[in-house]
Chain A
Amino acid sequence: MSSGDEISQTISKKSKKPQYSRFTQQELPACKPILTPGLVITTLISIGIIFIPIGLSSLSASENVVEIVDRYDDACVPSTGNDEAAKRERLSFIQNAKTNKTCIRNLVVPKKMKHPIYVYYQLDNFYQNHRRYVKSRSDRQYRSPKYEGDTKTCDPESEIDDHKPIVPCGLIAWSLFNDTYGISTKSNPVPINKKDIAWGSDKSSKFGSNVYPKNFQNQDPIGGGKLNESLPLSEQEDLLVWMRTAALPNFRKLYGRIETDLEANEKISVVIQNNYNTYSFDSRKQLVLSTTTWIGGKNDFLGKAYITVGGICLFLAIAFLLTYVIKPRPLGDPAYLSWNLNSAEL
């Protein structure tokens, strides 16, 4: 080290003068964009230009989705009507395990549906996101037989009378949806593929391949479907789909896939086992057959929203352009400073 350096060091040690650096003097190089009219108009126009095409394409995508929705919960019970007697009759029908609940619905395919066609069941006004409901599960128990007894969080469906744990425990599993659908065209049945309807991640990691149902739906009240006790949880795909609780009170869940095309105007009949009790509260069941595109199912909202926002931005760009032409204000004119304005006015 040269002596000069040493001297400067000793000086800087004695002097309390702050060491100069761009950082400490707040002089770091900086970019300071300001909103010039040009920039503003360009921004607004480009938002418009980007948004409108996106909106149009998502609208057309939504247009292209072919969807058959059939509400069957009213039709598949013997009595309709809102009076108390009808209600009681409906309830006793659905709650009786012995009655024949088969119900046949005939549907027409409005447009050609290319495969894969997704078969959903849709429940409305069913709060899968209710706090009591979503909390009533035990992810540990589902994952490993070690934690079989880990049912604290599963109340009120944690164990049966002599403290035997229910596997899978909790309200969600207990209320498993158990309507079944069989579809056939005029001549031949249309197979519904029920493999791979649940998330791969759920099958591989979230639900154990060595956890088998135990004591499930063995005790009144019975909330929904039963499980095959010889299959591990990870292969009970209907359960896995059901356990992915829906975000909103109106939701669809995947039932299966049809791997063949359905032609336009083709008549199909659906054999429904109407087992699931939605009659004790104000809920609806629907069967949905739908193709899919990049925006998912049929939903015009996003397209309309994009077009609206894009349109508004274009309109604002024009409005701003006009006001700029009619009443321009030079940028950075000191005459506009308040103290200059005051003295000019007086």
Chain B
Amino acid sequence: MDSNSNSYSQFQNENSSLPDFIRNSSSQRSSSSIQSFHSKASGGHSVKEVSFELGSKPSVRYGSRGADSERFSSSYKEINDQDARLVYINDPEKTNEKFEFAKNSIRTGKYSILTFLPRNLFEQFHRVAYIYFLVIAILNQLPQLAVFGRGASIMPLAFVLLVTAVKDGYEDYRRHRSDNIENNRLAWVLVNDQFQQKKWKDMRVGEIVKISANETLPCDMVLLSTSDTTGVAYIQTTNLDGESNLKTRYAKQETQMKNPEKEKISGLIKCEKPNRNIYGFQANMEIDGKRVSLGPSNIILRGCELKNTSWALGIVVYAGGETKAMLNNSGAPSKRSRLETHMNREIIYLSIFLVVLCTIVSVCHGAWLRRHKDDLVLMQFYRKKDYSEPKVDDYNYYGWGMEIFFVFLMSVIVFQIMIPISLYISMELVRVGQAYFMIRDDRMYDKASNSRFQCRALNINEDLGQIKYVFSDKTGTLTENKMEFQCASIGGVDYSGGKAISEDEQTGYSLRVEGQVFRPKMKVKVDPELLSLSKQKHTDEGRHVHDFFIALAACNTIVPLTVETSDPALKLIDYQGESPDEQALVYAAAAYGFMLIERTSGHIVIDIQGERQRYNVLGLHEFDSDRKRMSVILGCPDNTFKVFVKGADTTMFNVIDRSLNSNTVKATEDHLHLYSSKGLRTLVVGMRDLSASEFEQWQSSYERASTALMGRAALLRKVAYNVETSLSVLGASAIEDKLQQGVPEAIESLRNAGIRVWVLTGDKQETAISIGYSSKLLTSKMTQIVVNNNSKESCKKSLEDALVMCKKLTTDSDATRRGSGARKTEIALIIDGTSLVHILDTELEEQVLIVYCTYSLSISELQSISIFNSSLSINLQLFNLSSKCTVVLCCRVAPLQKAGIVALMKNRANEMTLAIGDGANDVSMIQMADVGIGISGQEGRQAVMASDFAMAQFRFLVPLLFVHGHWNYQRMSYMILYNFYRNAVFVLVLFWYALFTSFTLTTAITDWSSVLYSVIYTALPTIVVGVLDKDLSRTTLLRYPQLYGTGQRQESYNGKLFWVTIMDTLWQSIAAFFVPLLAYWGSDVDRSSLGDLWTIAVVILVNIHLAMDVVRWYWITHAAIWGSIVATFICVMVIDVLPFLPGYWAFFHIAGTKLFWACLFGITIAALVPRFVVKIFIQYFRPDDIQIARELEKVENSRESRDAEIEMNPIFDPPRR
């Protein structure tokens, strides 16, 4: 904390000299620092907040170690009046008097009918390319500059705008419709002391609302009272964060007793301004002269559903667009693909090229005018003076300088398609096509959850082919997050003989009450020895087992629900709770005959081997990440008081009294080690009998703490610390979190493809490592470096050591490799959350500094900074170290740290990162990474909502990256280069012609052909190839994961390829232009005929060029390419039969001569020969992997078909269904 506060104050001091944008963020901090102690509250953070917190708020703690108590005390200080919202209970008039709070109507639609056109256009013109084309279209409207027909110049842009506007309009219409439905839903609102139905949109802040069971909450409310006498309400937050289990919320005792219909409630709630943190709420309530503080457990949020509670009363505090659900609704920020970013760089080159062309034309034109300045007046084809008016005037001559300027502008208009507008549209279409195939891929369909692959972001498809780092969540992503009780160590004895039971052999434990059978919903495999022990009550062992299972059944927050089945005599008991581990434990207890039947806030009922026992729950110390344990104080039927504690081994052994039963403790520890090395999640269970005096002492302090106004949490924790001491160990449980199908194979393939896999998990180190082994993330060949420190200095030191070791290892292995040819030594880094806290904390300081110095610095510059300030270099060390490691395992990581790690690697390594996760805790990471993938699994939809792509299983990552990602990348890179080439060839042909028209930009090619060129003549083939062409088959790509490296190394799109393409373009344009020019030099050919020849020559050229690069010819490809050529002929003919155009009948004249066809044929071959030759020489002498693999495919196919009549292609099998 010391270093932290130092840095904080240092930051404050610097504040005065900081640039404005920093100061802004620091002034925001004062309001948002309130949130910071909700350290688990990460799921709802938007990426904005995440980056904000990472970037400039040193008071954030990623971990929760230490310092919490101080912060708690300070956090309960007064909320500033100016920062607060005042809500007068049941007095909406007064509440809204001073300042009108948002009503409860929501508007997710962006536009209204009036604002649609201007706003939509405004948004569309955020694309710089569109502005460029708009400017050009406007320029073309000026009479002096009208190069093209006015209609022809506007058409393409208008078309694009129209299509996008229609799409946006339709989407918005759908949003409006759903808003309407939402707004007109009804709720019961207290009006004049009576509950009346009111539409949602009319509800106001300050009103009291009554919600019945299974109803959806209309706005964010503070709970006043519920049907439960203790003020508990259960809510389901599926719509909000996707978690399907029930959560408990509490009404304050002060309001619980009141009935607003009979007695008027009045009071004042002072709460923070609306924010999007769904796990945080900070307020206090003044009622009956008392002040009560309110926290996140007192508020129920819009979108949640009330469950298991027949009614609840709440007071509206945030409504409509200010509810946390709506504030979180803004969706993921749009990401831009790396290819597109690079493409923009080349677009700038093309713009420079364009300017150069225009400059050449205009300067030459100036020179021409200069040379002929004496002749201009009467020169037949210029005629500077207009004699038709009585007064002799200059006709359209604006002087030398202006003429040059106009020619420049005109040439920009003529050469405009140098910047390919059609490329943007083609890219959108191609991405839609690619997304279609990804969604429809039945190899990425998961039968168990019946879910397909989902593309949520449409503009980063090709990034999937360039991933270098994969950051994966563990629970629910690598594993199924279906917790299964595996074995237990009770009283120092290991019971792990459980056999998997088949359905009919044993039905599990069930309970008969009044002719009805109750049975737990989930079956658990049982150890027969333990089962028989659990039935003995009177042996020592039996009692021990008994206590153990009581602890499992009681020490939790699980709510049992009875579910009807189709058989009226059979009822299933469904255990609902926040933690899947607890669920598994309760199901296990039930299987051994300790069935939890009922839970209220005051007592629980456990059916023990057929006997109903009622235990009073006198107190419950909730789990917190600091203690890492929870405890419950039970008043047992035999009037004794017991405290049961369960928690993580690290903290449990601190509070277990080893002297009591040292052998058992030792044995338990051994078993724990055994379990966790198997990859099981372990919990230690302990208990203690409380003597009457101890109990009373606890009770009084507990009462005092739980009614305290200030620092309640800290006080409660202190009480918990006092009572959770000198426990006797009961045993330990082990829960298996099963690996998902295909995970080890998937991870191995990812590693083979040169992708660095990082697993970020909240599990403890041993568990993480064992999961690492079972998922083949770690192999025995790897050298493990473990960083596990408590302070910054030691952390730094161990990083340094690790780096040294790492360097030694790599040089060693270099040496050995040279000698023996052995494989490169792989290094795995295992680092824990605590160390990361220290590392990432410095990251914060550093980021502030970086922003302060310049906006960004390269790594080398950072290194130079770190010489001056050694404390800064620590995360650089982590980066250096981790970039040397093939595998990194981060354990005990808090959600925000996940995002921090991703940000670190993303910014430092400048490589593509992918984050995959399934839970609300992965949201920040998913949004931070270049590509975020959500697993639509157990934990609901929060991750999916934030993700760019969503799928059901981790293993689908392999086909997604290796097959679709690779294809997408190859297709998109080729398409961009091809589009550059395609437009540049055309522009250059226009340019060459301009040199022969005394630089006046007459075009031989008609206006309409210029416009249709990138719309009809050449558009379809590139889209078809961009969607359909496959450089390699799926089988090959999956067989050689290394082929993925082409994307990582950016082999298909880079600066070199761009320049090669431009050189090729130059040659092809020269061939296409000069062959007809020289063949027709000095002949009687007219402009339109020659223009038609050039048009057709260029179109055939670019289409054949494309055809040369197509790898797989489908009938669609054939249709598109040859169809485009045919369409061009048809269009040219159609243009030439319009008698009002100057080129009337030109095509038919010139196409009747043999010279025309000889030129066409000659151009095509002459232009493409260099490309062809370069291509074959590269393929033959410097083949890349893709080329070899393609040949391999071909060779193997022919070999197979020669060998036998084996069905070589699985698609000839009966169609799969």
- A37–B1196 Cα distance when bound, in Å, is 18
Contact of A249 among B382, B996, B1196 (CB under 8 A): B996
**B442-A34 in contact (CB<8A):** no
B1111 contacts the other chain (Cβ, under 8 Å)? Answer: yes
B1000 / chain A contacts, CB cutoff of 8 Å: 127, 130-132
Chain A residues with CB below 8 A from B997, complex form: 127, 129-131, 249
A105 to B1077, CA, bound (A): 31
A333 contacts B by Cβ under 8 Å? yes
CB pair A320–B1176 under 8 Å, yes or no, is yes
Chain A nearest CB, measured from B1177 CB (Å): 8
A96 in contact (CB, < 8 A): no
Is A70 at the interface (CB under 8 A from chain B)?
A: no
Let me know if A68 is at the binding interface, CB within 8 A: no
Q: Find chain B residues with CB under 8 A from A17 CB.
A: 442, 445, 447, 450, 452
Question: Once bound together, how far apart are the Cα atoms of A155 and B383, in whole Å?
Answer: 10
Question: Is A337 an interface residue when CB atoms closer than 8 A count as contact?
Answer: yes
CB distance from A336 to the nearest CB of B (A): 5
Contact between B380 and A143, CB atoms less than 8 A apart? no
The count of residues in chain A whose C-beta lies closer than 8 Å to any C-beta of chain B is 105
Is B395 in contact with chain A by the CB < 8 A criterion?
yes
Task: Please state if B1194 and A32 are interface contacts (CB–CB under 8 Å).
Answer: yes
Considering the chains assembled together, what is the distance between the CA atoms of A161 and B1173 in angstroms?
65
Asked whether A22 is an interface residue with its Cβ less than 8 Å from the other chain, the reply is: yes
> Are A18 and B1165 closer than 8 Å at their CB atoms?
no
Residues of A within 8 Å of B1004, CB to CB, are 129, 247
B1155 and A302 contacting across the interface, CB-CB below 8 Å = yes
Q: B-facing mask of A19-42, CB < 8 A → 1, else 0?
A: 110101111111111110100100
Option from A26, A158, A249 in Cβ contact (under 8 Å) with B388: A158
State A25–B997 Cα separation when bound (angstroms).
53
- Chain B contacts for A130, CB-based, 8 A: 381-382, 997-998, 1000, 1002
Nearest-Cβ distance from residue B389 to partner chain A, whole angstroms: 8
Is B1191 in contact with chain A by the CB < 8 A criterion?
yes
Report how far A246 CA is from B1004 CA in the complex, Å.
10
Residues of A within 8 A of B1040 (CB): 337
CB pair B1173–A316 under 8 Å, yes or no, is: yes
Chain B, range 371-425, C-beta contacts under 8 Å to A = 372, 375, 378-383, 385-390, 395-396
For B380, give the chain A residue with the smallest CB separation. A175
For the complex, what is the distance from the CA of A125 to the CA of B470, rounded to whole Å?
Answer: 67
- Does B793 sit within 8 A of A, measured CB to CB? no
CB neighbours (8 Å) of B1079 from chain A are 295, 299, 301-302, 305
Contacts of B1154 in A (CB 8 A): 294-295
* Chain B interfacial residues counted at CB < 8 A: 107
A72 on the interface (CB 8 Å rule)?
no
The reply to whether the CB of B606 lies closer than 8 angstroms to some CB of chain A is no
Beta-carbon contact of B1185 and A34 below 8 Å = no
Asked whether B99 is an interface residue with its Cβ less than 8 Å from the other chain, the reply is: no
Q: Pick from A109-117, A134-142, A231-239, A267-275 the stretch touching chain B.
A: A134-142
Partner of A247, one of B1028, B1090, B1139: B1090
Contact B1139 A120 (CB under 8 A): no
B658 contacts chain A at the CB level, 8 A cutoff: no
Contacts of B445 on A, CB cut-off 8 Å?
16-18
B1113 within 8 Å of A by Cβ? yes
Complex-state Cα separation, A120 to B1180, whole angstroms: 54
* Whole-angstrom CA separation of A120 from B1184 in the bound complex: 58
A206, B1139: Cα distance in complex, Å: 6
| Interface of chain B residues 599 through 618 with chain A (CB within 8 A) | none
Kindly supply a per-residue 1/0 record for chain B positions 1176-1188, scoring 1 wherever the CB is within 8 Å of any chain A CB and 0 otherwise: 1101110111001
Of A223, A302, A312, A323, the residue contacting B1159 (CB under 8 A) is A302
Q: Are B378 and A221 in contact (CB under 8 A)?
A: yes
Nearest to A143 among chain B residues (CB) is: B1139
Select the residue from A129, A160, A161 with max chain B CB neighbours within 10 A: A129
Contact B452–A32 (Cβ < 8 Å):
no
Contact partners of B1034 in chain A: CB under 8 A? 26
Known: A202-B1144, A206-B1139, A248-B1077. A281 touches B372 (CB 8 A): yes
Give the CA-CA distance A157 to B378 in the complex, in Å: 12
B1090–chain A nearest beta-carbon distance, Å = 4
Name B824-857 residues within 8 Å CB distance of A: none
Q: Which of A133, A199, A334 contacts B1188 (CB 8 A)?
A: A334
A25 touches B441 (CB 8 A): yes
- Specify which chain B residues have a CB less than 8 angstroms from the CB of A122 in the assembled complex: 1082
Q: Do residues A134 and B1193 form an inter-chain contact, with CB atoms below 8 A?
A: no
Not counting A219-B388, A329-B1183, A332-B1194, a sample of 17 additional A-B residue pairs whose C-beta atoms are within 8 angstroms of each other reads: A18-B452, A25-B442, A26-B437, A32-B1113, A32-B1193, A127-B998, A129-B997, A133-B382, A156-B385, A221-B378, A247-B1090, A248-B1077, A251-B1085, A253-B1084, A302-B1159, A324-B1180, A331-B1191
Task: Using CB atoms and an 8 Å cutoff, list the residues of chain A in contact with chain B.
Answer: 8, 14-20, 22, 24-35, 37, 40, 43, 47, 51, 54, 58, 120, 122, 126-134, 137, 139-140, 143, 155-161, 171, 174-175, 199, 201-202, 205-206, 219-221, 223-224, 244-254, 277, 280-282, 294-297, 299, 301-302, 305-306, 309, 312-313, 316, 320, 323-324, 329, 331-334, 336-339, 343, 346
Q: Which 4 A-B pairs have the closest CB atoms?
A: A332-B1191, A156-B386, A201-B1145, A175-B380
10 pairs from A and B in contact (CB 8 Å cutoff): A18-B452, A24-B442, A31-B1113, A43-B1172, A132-B1000, A248-B1082, A250-B1082, A296-B1155, A332-B1188, A332-B1194
